[in-house]
Amino acid sequence: MRTLIAGAALVMVAACGGGSDDSGDGEAGGAPEAPRVYDEADLIDHLDAKGSMDSYVNFDGTRCEVAVYLTSAGMVSLYADAGDVVATNPTRTAGVKVVSDNQATCHELFTEALADLP
């Protein structure tokens, strides 16, 4: 009977992942961290955007318009894959769709402004 109970316990431990997953680095195992999602207000504040209907940012006299604030990696991918001009932070988890007359310059300016977005 003891053998049966010990065997059942061993099967349960194996089915649950075999016990400890300690790799020695001090970090707990588990589910991967969820992707970062920003609020539109976070991006507006970070970029110091102005305007009510048409949002824009003035970069030392260069007016750059924003069509859409991209608040997640999924949104960034959706717009970029559609061929839109998109400026993002380095991790591509947030950005803006650029619709300014001077798109190349504004893309560069927005990319620089988003470079320090966490």
Q: How many domains does the chain have?
A: 1
In a domain, 59, yes or no: yes
In a domain, 93, yes or no: yes
Regarding pTM above 0.85, the answer is no
Question: What are the average pLDDT values for consecutive 10-residue runs of the chain, which has 118 residues?
Answer: 44 46 54 80 90 80 93 97 97 94 94 92
Contacts of 18 (CB under 8 A, 6+ apart): none
Choose among 70, 77, 5: nearest CA to 38: 70
> Which residues span the domain enclosing 48?
40-114
Identify the bridge partners of residue 68 per DSSP, sorted by sequence position. Answer: 97
In a domain, 14, yes or no: no
SS3 for 14? helix
In a domain, 13, yes or no: no
In a domain, 15, yes or no: no
In a domain, 18, yes or no: no
**What is the rounded CA–CA span in Å between residue 90 and residue 115?**
6
Contacts of 91 (CB under 8 A, 6+ apart): 36, 73
